[in-house]
Chain A
């Protein structure tokens, strides 16, 4: 069903925001902004000018994958929390996601890996918790999930039991 009815992007929509798999050897931003809304801080915050929106800030952002270093500044700059960074490692996917809840995950913990419908789909190992002053309370959590969750994983919720 459509995003405007369910609030969940459809699988084919999601895939369009991912670069070809071989590009993900290096971390890259995945920008899931599917609507024309007047907004551009992802573009203005990117230190590598890798995100293009243009003068009409209603345009959806376009990522220049070559220029993107996966630094993650856009991840905490997006007011809609619609951006994450993905990297394909040998046997895991490394994600950097925005996070604004308590309790704050601890490095080494294993949390529930959650999909776009809020359902549990596996485990997420907490690798890093990044919280600089510039982020203004939007934490970046770096996690490792199984490779088959590449297009499903979006966030974490609670310790994995």
Chain B
């Protein structure tokens, strides 16, 4: 789901691939991606589940305002994946609960 050519913007630049895991499966993105944009490029839209009813949830605003995109990243819960840059080796998990303070 990547845009390779665009009439106004230039997306042709070569970017370095970054490997990370999503729910323990190895996936990839590119330098410059956020966690959310990398997942969406792979067609993954569900990022978490609602706390009580376990409804699938995804991002809404993509700029850090609405908190819909929270995921567990490297064991830290409630990470705003729409504004967090993707890094090599990140462990990204679907968040299904509230998350704990100082869980580690």
- A binding-site residues for B, Cβ under 8 Å: 100-102, 137
B31 to chain A, nearest CB (A): 25
Q: List residues of chain B with CB within 8 A of the CB of A101.
A: 7
Beta-carbon contacts under 8 Å, B1-42 to A: 5-8
Please list the residues of chain B having a beta carbon within 8 angstroms of any beta carbon in chain A: 5-8
Closest 6 CB pairs of A and B: A137-B8, A100-B7, A102-B7, A101-B7, A102-B5, A137-B7
Q: How far is the CA of A137 from the CA of B9 in the complex (A)?
A: 9
Which chain B residues lie closer than 8 Å to A100 at the CB level?
Answer: 7-8
CB distance from B12 to the nearest CB of A (A): 12
Cβ contacts under 8 Å, B7 to chain A: 100-102, 137
The docked-state distance in angstroms from the alpha carbon of A137 to that of B7 is 7
Q: List 8 A-B contacts (CB under 8 A).
A: A100-B7, A100-B8, A101-B7, A102-B5, A102-B6, A102-B7, A137-B7, A137-B8
